[in-house]
Structure 1
């Protein structure tokens, strides 16, 4: 393809490279923090870039353990993230910890909880039903838990547990369904864990307000006609 203006072509390449680099950085940072903060209820990360500094907001169920005694652990994490991802950058990095209010609606927290239950030797069916009940009691519309691997016999199989209403396709499934995967290393092999939670509401990225499903229909009460007495 022939380009009349080379500056436009260079800017397109730089934009594409920037988006790719941002996505790779987000994935690597998420994997790095998930490995370190697995026992502290790590539930995700958000990166905010400003001209002066880069803010990394860590969401977890136990923020006290993430911060550490007098903020010691968060300073250690800041130093690790600075050396690992921003070694050649002039921008400073600052880490913050944000508490997840309802851990029952967080798929990452529930997948990690199920993983530790299986590592302790709890029966798969009992552990999955316990997680399922906790999710539904927390206000979820529906949920699904899938455990695959060598559960009892030598042959690998999958066990699926579902409750409530859960959508799997369409654009609303990206906004209303929270998904997380984990793996548990047991004696008989590796078990794969997948948790899906159907949230009651989702935040609209454009307006910032809670949104509902597009096929949701609300029936209003009929108006009562008052007839004047003669």
Structure 2
């Protein structure tokens, strides 16, 4: 197998695993997965809002999940660890899932979009963009975009720091798509300049030692004797 085909097959497998975990761990607040090959097997990190649901009672659920990943997707010796998501509003997949759930409950798409955008920015994000597409108001499909803050679309910061997610939801008019892009607060930009303030040093105070005090006292006595 050539290198290009190898990377394509690995990317397809990761997308299939991600889609499988989305359905299996929906109640756990699934927020993404990282898969890393190691000499001893495969290290799988699952991000979730409720890690206890992923692990299960006595670790039964996570063992069954590891067995499924090995048999169904061919991951050699998968070692699964679960990481808790501390700020769900900065996780693109969780935000997209919440918008999809709101649309499924009948919430207007604009209300759901602006609500999610405000929550993201209040959590400290530098920028965010939400795109809801589908048959929003008419029989013809269109999209609505909600955007706030600073959100570059290209360059190293966009490739390195941008968090992306896409979720589809089946509604009565048809399938709606929800795309979320978030620029986290810890992102660094090459055009961001830091101005350092100069610190003024306080004038050094002369500290009198015991020897200095004695020398001054002797000089004072000598002056008095000379005057007397």
TM-score range, shorter chain: 0.7 to 0.9
Match of 1:51 among 21, 39, 55: 39
**Match of 1:74, SS?**
helix
Report the CA distance between 1:141 and its aligned residue.
0.6
State the partner residue of 1:122: 107
Q: Which runs of 5+ in 2 are unaligned?
A: 204-228
**Between Structure 1 and Structure 2, whose CA radius of gyration is higher?**
2
Does the 8 Å CA contact 1:38/1:112 hold for their aligned counterparts?
no
1:216 aligns to 2:192 (yes or no): yes
**Match of 2:143, SS?**
strand
**Match of 2:45, SS?**
strand
Higher share in helix: 2
Query: Larger deviation: 20-29 or 39-48?
Result: 20-29
**Match of 1:31, SS?**
helix
Query: Larger deviation: 37-46 or 167-176?
Result: 37-46
State the partner residue of 1:6: none
1:151 aligns to 2:136 (yes or no): yes
Match of 2:98 among 104, 113, 116: 113
Q: Which runs of 5+ in 1 are unaligned?
A: 1-12, 203-211
TM-score (normalised: structure 1):
0.79
Match of 2:29 among 41, 47, 56: 41
Q: 1:70-219 to 2 correspondence within 5 Å? A: 70-86=58-74, 91-202=76-187, 212-219=188-195
Q: Which runs of 4+ in 1 moved over 6 A?
A: none
Once the two structures are superposed, what CA deviation does each residue of 1:57-79 show, in whole Å capped at 9, x if it has no partner?
A: 11112212111222222122112
Q: What is the distance in 1 between the residues matched to 2:202 and 2:73?
A: 71
How many aligned residue pairs are there? 203
Query: Larger deviation: 62-71 or 110-119?
Result: 62-71
